[in-house]
Amino acid sequence: MVNLTIDDKQVTAPKNSTIYDAAKINGIKIPILCHDKKLKPFGACRMCLVEVEQMRGRQVPACTTPITEGMIIRTSTPDIIKARKMVLELLLLNHPIDCPVCDKGGDCDLQNLTYEYKVNANRFSDEKFHHEIDYSNPLIERDMNRCVLCGKCARICDEIVSFGALTFISRGIETKIGCEFEGSLNCEFCGSCVSVCPVGSLLARPFKFKARFWALTNQKSVCGYCGTGCNLTLGVKDNKVLTTVYDENQGFHNGQLCCRGRFGYQFINSDKRLNTPLVRKNGSLTEATWDEALELVAARLKGAGSSAAALATPRLTNEELVLFKRLMETAGSANYDHSAGYAHAALTEGFAKSFGAAASPATILDIQKSDLLLVIKTDSYETHPVIGFEINMAVKNKGVKLNILSDKRGKLSKLPDAQTLVHTPGSEIAVINALAKTILDDKLAAGTAAAIPGYADLEKALAGFTPEAVAGQSGLAASAIKRLANDYAKAEKALILFPIGNAYPGHNADLASAVANLALLTGKLGTEGSGVLCMAEKNNSQGAVDMGFYATSGLNAGQIMDGCASGAIKTLFVAGENPVVSYPNRAAISAALDKVEFLVVSDLFMTETAAMADVVLPACSFAEKEGTFTSVDRRVQHIKPAIRNIGQSRTDFEIFGQLIAKLGGQAPATPATVFGEIAASAPGYAGMSYASLGETGAFAPVAVTAAFVVPKTVAVEPAAGKLALVTGSALYHNGTLSQFGEGPMHVCPEGYLELSRTDAAKLQIKENDLLNVASAIGSTKLKARITPRMPEGVLFSPYHFGAAAINQVWSGAPVTWVTVTK
Partner 1 sequence: MNPITPIINGLRITLEHLFKKPVTLQYPTERPKVAQRFRGLHALNVSHDKAKCVACYLCPTVCPAKCITVEAGEDANHDKYAARYEIDMLRCIFCGYCVEACPVDAVRMTGEFELANYHRSDFVYDKERLLEKK
Q: Which stretches of the chain bind partner 1, using CB under 8 A?
A: 99-101, 105, 133, 135, 141, 208-212, 214-215
Interatomic CA distance for residues 34 and 149, integer angstroms? 8
Buried b (16+ CB within 10 A) or exposed e, 544-559: bbbbbbbbeebbbbbb
By beta-carbon proximity to partner 1, the closer residue of 206 and 576 is 206
Interatomic CA distance for residues 799 and 430, integer angstroms? 26
Minimum distance, C-beta of residue 494 to partner 1, in the bound complex (Å): 51
By beta-carbon proximity to partner 1, the closer residue of 141 and 652 is 141
By beta-carbon proximity to partner 1, the closer residue of 100 and 687 is 100
Minimum distance, C-beta of residue 238 to partner 1, in the bound complex (Å): 10
Minimum distance, C-beta of residue 88 to partner 1, in the bound complex (Å): 19
What ranges make up the beta strands (E) of 14-55? 49-52
Minimum distance, C-beta of residue 108 to partner 1, in the bound complex (Å): 13
**Residue 613: φ, ψ to 5°:** -75, 160
By beta-carbon proximity to partner 1, the closer residue of 98 and 442 is 98
By beta-carbon proximity to partner 1, the closer residue of 106 and 683 is 106
By beta-carbon proximity to partner 1, the closer residue of 222 and 242 is 242
**Residue 771: φ, ψ to 5°:** -110, 145
CA dihedral 333, 337, 340, 342 (to 10 degrees): -120
Minimum distance, C-beta of residue 266 to partner 1, in the bound complex (Å): 17
Minimum distance, C-beta of residue 136 to partner 1, in the bound complex (Å): 11
Interatomic CA distance for residues 463 and 728, integer angstroms? 32
Minimum distance, C-beta of residue 207 to partner 1, in the bound complex (Å): 11
By beta-carbon proximity to partner 1, the closer residue of 237 and 302 is 237
Span between the terminal Cα atoms of the chain, in Å: 67
Q: What residue type is assigned to position 380 of the chain? A: S
Contact 767, 786 (CB under 8 A): yes
By beta-carbon proximity to partner 1, the closer residue of 101 and 451 is 101
What ranges make up the beta strands (E) of 110-248? 140-142, 167-169, 176-178, 202-204, 217-222, 231-237, 240-244
Task: Count other C-beta atoms under 10 Å from residue 217's C-beta.
Answer: 11
Contact 686, 620 (CB under 8 A): no
Which residues have C-beta within 8 Å of that of residue 593, sequence separation ≥ 6?
A: 564, 572, 579, 580, 599, 609, 612
In angstroms, what CA-CA distances link 144 with 97, 129, 207, 337, 348? 14, 8, 19, 51, 51
Minimum distance, C-beta of residue 237 to partner 1, in the bound complex (Å): 11
Which residues have C-beta within 8 Å of that of residue 59, sequence separation ≥ 6?
A: 49, 50, 51, 79, 80, 83
Task: Count other C-beta atoms under 10 Å from residue 271's C-beta.
Answer: 5
Minimum distance, C-beta of residue 135 to partner 1, in the bound complex (Å): 6
By beta-carbon proximity to partner 1, the closer residue of 105 and 554 is 105
Minimum distance, C-beta of residue 147 to partner 1, in the bound complex (Å): 17
What value, to the nearest 5°, has the Cα angle with vertex 517 and ends 685 and 511?
A: 80
Interatomic CA distance for residues 495 and 371, integer angstroms? 8
